[in-house]
Amino acid sequence: MTAASATTSWTITPEFTFTDAERTALEEALGTVIANPYRLYDAHLFQINALIASGAVPQRFRNYIESLPTRDRTAEPVVVLKNVPYDRDVPIFDFDQPVRSKYELKTTFLAEGFLALFAQLAGTPAIGYVNVNDGDVYQDIYPQRRLQSSQSQKALNQIHFHKDLANHFVRPDQVYMVGMRSNPANEVYTSFVRNIDVISSFTESELELLRSREFYTPFDDLSTMGGGRVELGEADRHPIIGGEDDLRYFENRTVGVSDAAKAIVPKVTETLHALKQRVFIEPGDFVVTYNNHTVHAKEVINVGDPDALKTRWIIKTVNVDDVSPHRRHLVPGTEHLING
């Protein structure tokens, strides 16, 4: 099957929508979580767990989350929920120092609380990285002047197809995102492609090449350009396809190191764009990406309000199914912070 003829029956549609009454009640409960998650993460998480134990979470939502372990992540690697709790009317952050500005201006933590709530109920703990925002668990997809031309979550324009931290020694199993601010005047989409659809688009001989260690991808920009404190060294050569359906590829950054490998890279990119599905993340949208079963991109199709593009904002966490396999990489004395 060629990229042009590949088809998919998979469609991304919202799977759960909070009623206004459910959302309002949960926002009120999350408002009682007063520990600052950027300074007192353990206390924040303790309070979230106490909130869960109190019975404040709508049973309908709990039932939905309890259904997720039986989900076929390979076939359905993206989840969209609507009308989730988030913080409204947060002031605009400084374009030069958006993270520092967030610390100063954001005084409520509803979105962070919801991310933690979902993670705790789903049994998928969030992790932070020493090299990313000094280890913050809650990160922002929010432009920054110095990194606006990078391929990181602080980019102003497009971010090519990738999966989060694919080259890192601790790759997340999930990426959770809450839409905070977006302007419909700007056509900015988060686009997704299933790994299995990409793989089915290549012949057996092409797959053999794609499974060889004839490819190279540098470490992600945020880990290397964001003032990281841990030197990561040189990334290893790797296959684009590993195991049954793992796809390790960063569009326009992954390169072949042999003539045959160089020749097939453009077809991978072509295939991704032939199969992509676009999602416009609105405020109050919650998106789950199963990071090992899909790749995603930020696509900027049309800009009607350039100033609003600088303030588009999504809060995210990266999560794992189990911290135990990564324990040797934890900063001593922590249960969530990766030393790298």
CB neighbours of residue 291 within 10 Å: 22
On whether 293 is known to bind a ligand per the annotation, the reply is no
Which residues on neighbouring strands pair with residue 302, listed in sequence order?
A: 187
Tell me, what DSSP letter sits at residue 128? E
Cβ contacts of 280 within 8 Å, gap of 6 or more: 182, 184, 187, 188, 189, 190
Cβ contacts of 293 within 8 Å, gap of 6 or more: 73, 74, 77, 194, 195, 196, 245
Q: Which of 180, 172, 174 is nearest to 142 (CA)?
A: 180
Residues in the chain: 340
β 313-319/139-141 pair status: antiparallel
Q: Which of 238, 260, 257 is nearest to 249 (CA)?
A: 238
DSSP string, 237-302: EE-SEETTTEE---TTT-EESSHHHHHHHHHHHHHHHHH-EEE---TT-EEEEETTSEEEEEEEEE
Annotated binding site: 162
Annotated binding site for Fe cation: 162
